Structure formats: structure tokens, C-alpha cells
């Protein structure tokens, strides 16, 4: 009986060999993925961008806090980056740097409320999560952007 396919070549030790391309050199090969290694990649950083938030067409939202629910896999340093456009149409950004987790991982779900240094006001707000190489294991379960929307009447 063979193992279920995950897109790679299954080995007896449950280590998958995945066809990949090296991002720096461009060389191709079969690389091992060991699920016991964890989510902390010591070589490559990771990033994930969420969809652009259109809260209400024509209204300008203000972000006042970020609720992050994550699985505690130990200490991880992460940067939450907001990009948006201001009233002039120029692209702006705002960063929230955070250290999540405990020295002894609990594997429990934890929710943290993070606050930007100042309120983020702009259109087309997009959240990107960045984890540097070897910054710790990150497993986000849910993120909620909180704030308010202007209520000014249309002219």
C-alpha cells in the first residue's frame, strides 16, 4: 500500500522530496521537507499578504488595533505591515513589530491585541505578515483588523 500523494515523492521516513527551484541560484532539484523540523525556516524569511480591504466604497477607514490569534509554538518575532493610500493617492505604510509566544511552547491558541504607534487612516488597506529567517515558528489562526469608518455624508 502506498502513501497518499502530497505532490512530492514519499520516503519511508515520511520525509517528502519536493521538486523546487532555488530562489537565489535558479537551480532545480528535489529538496527534502521534514515535517518534524517545524515552521521555523532558518534560511528563508516568510511573508503573507492578505487581500486589500475595501471597507465601504468611498469611505476612509481608520485602523486602531489588530487582533491576532496564533498557535503558541514558542517565541517568534513578526512584523505586521499595513500599506494604504492617503488622500493624495500616495502609498504609505505603517509597521507593528511584535514578539509572540512563550519560551516553552504550549501549542495552545492565544489571542493578542496589537496597537499601531498611531492610528492608520487610508484607503485600500492591505495587511502583510513578515517573519524573518530563523525568527521562530509562526502559525496564525485568525487575524481581525479593527477600527472605525468615517460617517460624513456624501455631498
pTM: 0.76
Residue 35 Ramachandran class (φ > 0 left, ψ -120 to 50 alpha, else beta): alpha
- Residue range(s) in the chain whose domain bears CATH number 2.60.120.1190: 46-149
Walk along the chain (155 residues) and give the pLDDT tens digit of each residue: 444 444 444 445 556 677 888 778 888 888 776 666 677 888 888 899 999 987 877 788 999 999 999 999 999 999 999 999 988 889 999 999 999 999 999 999 999 999 998 889 999 999 999 999 999 999 999 999 999 998 777 76
DSSP string computed for 62-100: EEEEEEEEEE--S-EEEEEEEEEE-TTS-EEEEEEEEEE
Q: Going by CATH, does the domain composed of 46-149 fall within 2.60.120.1190?
A: yes
Amino acid at each position: 500500500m502506498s502513501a497518499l500523494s502530497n505532490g512530492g515523492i514519499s520516503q519511508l521516513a515520511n520525509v517528502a522530496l519536493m521538486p523546487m527551484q532555488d530562489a537565489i541560484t535558479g537551480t532545480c532539484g528535489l529538496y527534502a521537507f521534514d515535517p518534524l523540523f517545524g515552521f521555523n525556516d532558518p534560511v528563508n524569511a516568510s511573508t503573507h499578504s492578505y487581500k486589500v480591504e475595501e471597507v465601504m466604497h468611498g469611505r476612509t477607514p481608520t485602523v486602531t488595533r489588530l487582533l491576532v490569534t496564533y498557535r503558541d509554538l514558542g517565541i517568534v518575532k513578526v512584523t505586521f505591515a499595513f500599506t494604504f493610500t492617503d488622500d493624495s493617492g500616495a502609498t504609505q505604510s505603517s509597521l507593528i513589530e511584535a514578539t509572540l509566544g512563550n519560551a516553552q511552547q504550549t501549542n495552545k491558541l492565544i489571542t493578542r491585541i496589537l496597537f499601531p504607534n498611531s492610528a492608520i487612516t487610508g484607503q485600500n488597506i492591505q495587511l502583510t505578515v513578515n517573519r524573518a529567517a530563523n525568527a521562530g515558528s509562526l502559525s496564525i489562526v485568525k487575524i481581525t483588523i479593527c477600527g472605525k469608518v468615517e460617517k460624513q455624508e456624501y455631498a
